[in-house]
């Protein structure tokens, strides 16, 4: 190359940018559906963390090293991994330029650039020991070490990641305070009665909950020493973790001129194709259309990302009609203190806000049977149905560990457009040590409860 820098130019069939669950699984599915294609995944991180388990690094796992997605998952499928940063994409030439000076010519490009924490910009934001949730090994090691040495930890943001972290750090014997803008923790995800159960659990663990307040400043010299909040109080803090939301990482997509949606994510169709037919987007960086409201939403969950990745991988070179995302359903679960929580679809509050006329079905039963069975505990199910049609549009559950799969059962019921009558007469299995009694299987009881209100 005359007068220029020597550049490595390589050709690949499929190029995937981003190494989180979305990129990783798209790579694997590209290879499964198109085994003869070369598939290259470029990512910035040398090591990939399991995103959902990041809150459990400080105590339950005890080290960042226990929270790694192994590269063998990709290597055994024949996917090539490149550690580098993409700085530019030329869509006309189908060429990608990297920070290390490589050029990659692609046939199909997949953006799996993920999301990044929303930053809090108040006086003192740049003090030491103020952390965010970055999916970066070295950063998370610093956070873990800082928590180990701290006495007072303030979590700014009482969403489910903030609450999981509070639960985890409180169990280490630290003094933990949550500062939340809304009237209750987890209020973006659950209806009030479930938020209150979670808050009771947090208080049992000694967590100090301050809701309905804004963080106005961080104070300290080099390191943070206190957090000032909008009611005038000041909270001691050796470490602050800010967890006030994530936003799609679409810098590259914007630079490339791809269409960005009103939720801030890259616009994709049901096959995960962007506005450029040779470019797909998956995971947190891709906009989702809510299953019910049919509005763009920013839902960022690894499970959604993996469902999208399977669809993208299958549809890269030819369309596989049944493999598509016909609207995204938020389904997730969490654990706070001794109580497990799950939610699928819309809460009652969200449904009403979006204009749905709803009927609620509720049940509280025991999660083993008879109720005298050792370890038996209450399980609470709330189902949200559309009044006309009776379709299930949301479910919330609180109880023991079985809720992790009950919420997936409800998620499946939503996907399949099941109605209250179908759930009330569903067939199911029970066992004394594993489930509620057949007489009071909670999903069925809650559906019956709704039916009686429909009349």
Which of positions 15-74 make contact with its own copies (CB under 8 A)?
Answer: 21, 24-25, 32, 50, 52-53, 56, 60-61, 66-69, 73
Please state the closest distance from residue 276 (CB atom) to its own copies, in A: 23
Q: Is 438 helix (H, G, I), strand (E, B) or coil?
A: helix
Please state the closest distance from residue 309 (CB atom) to its own copies, in A: 9
> In angstroms, what CA-CA distances link 53 with 245, 309, 395, 405?
16, 20, 24, 18
Q: State how far the Cα of 40 lies from the Cα of 17, in Å rounded to an integer.
A: 9
| Residue 125 buriedness (CB in 10 A; 0-12 / 13-18 / 19+) | middle
Site residues for its own copies, window 131-150 (CB under 8 A)? none
Between the two ends of the chain, the Cα-to-Cα distance in Å is 79
439 near its own copies, rule: CB under 8 A: yes
Largest CA distance in the chain: 83
Nearer to its own copies, 153 or 376 (CB): 376
| Residues whose CB falls within 8 Å of the CB of residue 455, separated by 6 or more in sequence, listed in order | none
The pair of three-digit structure tokens given for residue 386, joined into one six-digit string? 């559309």
Nearer to its own copies, 229 or 311 (CB): 311
| HSE (side-chain half, CA atoms, 13 Å) at 315 | 27
161 near its own copies, rule: CB under 8 A: no
The pair of three-digit structure tokens given for residue 70, joined into one six-digit string? 């192994």
Single residue of 15, 403, 446, 450 touching its own copies by CB under 8 A: 403
Site residues for its own copies, window 338-357 (CB under 8 A)? 340, 342, 344
Please state the closest distance from residue 231 (CB atom) to its own copies, in A: 33
421 near its own copies, rule: CB under 8 A: yes
Please state the closest distance from residue 241 (CB atom) to its own copies, in A: 18
Single residue of 101, 123, 173, 401 touching its own copies by CB under 8 A: 401
Residues 294-333: x where in contact with its own copies by CB under 8 A, - otherwise, as a string: -------xxxxxxx--xx----------xxxx--xx-xxx
Site residues for its own copies, window 360-399 (CB under 8 A)? 369-370, 372-374
Asked whether the beta carbons of 153 and 174 are under 8 A apart, the reply is yes
432 near its own copies, rule: CB under 8 A: yes
243 near its own copies, rule: CB under 8 A: no
Nearest to 400 by CA among 431, 369, 371, 368: 368
Please give the backbone phi and psi of residue 66, each rounded to the nearest 5 degrees, phi first: -85, 5
Single residue of 147, 335, 384, 392 touching its own copies by CB under 8 A: 335
225 near its own copies, rule: CB under 8 A: no
Nearest to 152 by CA among 212, 219, 200, 201: 219
Single residue of 145, 230, 255, 425 touching its own copies by CB under 8 A: 425
The pair of three-digit structure tokens given for residue 214, joined into one six-digit string? 């804004």
* Part in contact with its own copies (CB under 8 A); list of ranges 126-134, 173-181, 347-355, 420-428: 420-428
Q: State how far the Cα of 55 lies from the Cα of 52, in Å rounded to an integer.
A: 7
């Amino acid at each position: 190359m005359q007068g220029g820098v020597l550049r490595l130019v390589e050709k690949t069939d499929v190029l995937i940018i981003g190494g989180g669950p979305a990129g990783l699984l798209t790579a694997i599915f590209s290879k499964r559906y198109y085994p003869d294609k070369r598939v290259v995944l470029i990512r910035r991180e040398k090591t990939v963390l399991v995103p959902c388990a990041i809150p459990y690094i400080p105590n339950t796992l005890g080290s960042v090293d226990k929270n790694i997605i192994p590269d063998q998952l990709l290597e055994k499928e024949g996917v090539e991994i490149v550690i580098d940063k993409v700085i530019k994409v030329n869509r006309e030439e189908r060429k990608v330029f990297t920070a290390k000076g490589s050029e990659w010519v692609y046939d199909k490009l997949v953006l799996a650039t993920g999301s990044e924490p929303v930053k809090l910009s108040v006086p003192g934001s740049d003090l030491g020991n103020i952390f965010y949730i970055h999916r970066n090994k070295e950063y998370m090691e610093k956070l873990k070490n800082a928590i180990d040495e701290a006495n007072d930890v303030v979590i700014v943001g009482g969403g489910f990641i903030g609450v999981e972290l509070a639960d985890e750090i409180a169990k280490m014997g630290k003094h933990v305070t949550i500062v939340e803008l809304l009237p209750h923790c987890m209020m973006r995800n659950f209806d009030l009665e479930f938020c209150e159960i979670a808050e009771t659990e947090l208080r049992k663990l000694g967590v100090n909950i301050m809701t309905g307040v804004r963080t106005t400043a961080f104070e300290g010299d080099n390191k943070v020493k206190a957090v000032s909040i909008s009611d005038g109080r000041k909270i001691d803090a050796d470490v602050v973790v800010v967890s006030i939301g994530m936003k799609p990482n679409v810098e590259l997509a914007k630079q490339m001129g791809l269409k960005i949606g009103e939720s801030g994510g890259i616009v994709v169709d049901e096959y995960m194709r962007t506005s450029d037919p040779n470019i797909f987007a998956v995971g947190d960086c891709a906009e989702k259309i809510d299953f019910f409201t049919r509005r763009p939403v920013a839902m960022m969950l690894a499970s959604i990302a993996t469902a999208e990745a399977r669809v993208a991988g299958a549809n890269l070179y030819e369309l596989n009609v049944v493999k598509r995302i016909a609207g995204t359903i938020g389904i997730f679960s969490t654990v706070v203190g001794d109580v497990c929580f799950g939610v699928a679809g819309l809460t009652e509050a969200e449904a009403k806000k979006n204009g749905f006329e709803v009927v609620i079905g509720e049940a509280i039963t025991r999660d083993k049977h008879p109720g005298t069975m050792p370890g038996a505990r209450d399980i609470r199910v709330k189902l949200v149905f559309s009044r006309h049609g009776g379709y299930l549009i949301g479910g919330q559950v609180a109880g023991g560990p079985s809720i992790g799969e009950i919420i997936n059962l409800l998620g499946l019921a939503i996907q399949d457009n099941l109605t209250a009558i179908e759930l009330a007469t569903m067939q199911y299995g029970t066992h004394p040590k594993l489930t509620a009694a057949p007489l009071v299987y909670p999903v069925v009881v809650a559906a019956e409860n709704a039916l009686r209100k429909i009349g």
